[in-house]
């Protein structure tokens, strides 16, 4: 069975309360329930974890190596400047899908740049909480395909 890790970065614990016009009214608990439900439907194992701290996210990514088959990562604001998170993704050699709830390209210019995008398998932005489910589906298909090719 494939095992995936979903990481919510800084301030994503406040989704539902935080700027609902941008991030939607659904709270993080409900988003997490939907992720867990989709994981069950896909027949995959999924851990969901949140941290506001850059170093903790680096630690978690490092630990993911050997434990998980892939990672869904919403690095929040760290997306735009954390070389430490980018280097951790590059180091672990796991497929990572970058997710953003909002359409970062329709917002302030500083959100247009992702320093993690070049080391991720791909990314989803602007599709709200559904982006997490789509990322999980994409990773499941990717890992199934890699296994078939082996
Ligand atoms: C975000 C977009 C980031 O620019 C922002 O700093 C966030 C959330 C998103 O999910 O849309 O915290 O990653």
Cα-to-centroid distance, 147 and ligand 1 (Å)? 33
Range list of β-strands (E), the chain: 3-8, 45-50, 70-74, 96-100, 122-125
**Is residue 104 in contact with ligand 1, taking CB distance under 6 Å?**
yes
Cα-to-centroid distance, 91 and ligand 1 (Å)? 23
122 pLDDT more than 90: yes
In this prediction, residue 4 has a pLDDT band, given cuts at 50, 70 and 90, of: very high
DSSP 39-71: HHHHT-EEEEEE-S-HHHHHHHHHHHTTT-SEE
Contacts of 149 (CB under 8 A, 6+ apart): none
Q: Is the full-model pTM beyond 0.75?
A: yes
**Is residue 136 in contact with ligand 1, taking CB distance under 6 Å?**
no
pLDDT at 22: 96
* Ligand 1 pocket, mutate which of 31, 100, 106, 129 (most atoms under 8 A from CB): 100
What are the tens digits of pLDDT across the range 21-78?
A: 999 999 999 999 999 999 999 999 999 999 999 999 999 999 999 999 999 999 999 9
pLDDT at 69: 98
């Amino acid at each position: 069975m494939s095992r995936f890790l979903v990481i919510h970065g800084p301030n994503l614990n406040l989704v539902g309360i935080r700027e609902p016009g941008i991030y939607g009214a659904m709270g993080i608990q409900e988003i997490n329930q939907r992720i867990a439900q989709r994981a069950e439907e896909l027949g995959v194992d999924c851990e969901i974890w949140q941290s506001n701290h850059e170093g903790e996210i680096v630690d978690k990514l490092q630990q993911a190596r050997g434990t998980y088959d892939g990672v869904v990562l919403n690095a929040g604001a760290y997306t735009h400047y954390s070389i430490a998170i980018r280097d951790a993704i590059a180091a672990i050699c796991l497929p990572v899908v970058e997710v953003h709830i909002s359409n970062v390209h329709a917002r302030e210019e500083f959100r247009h740049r992702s320093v993690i995008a070049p080391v991720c398998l791909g990314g989803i932005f602007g599709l709200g909480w559904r982006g997490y489910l789509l990322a999980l589906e994409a990773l499941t298909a990717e890992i199934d395909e890699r296994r078939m090719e082996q």
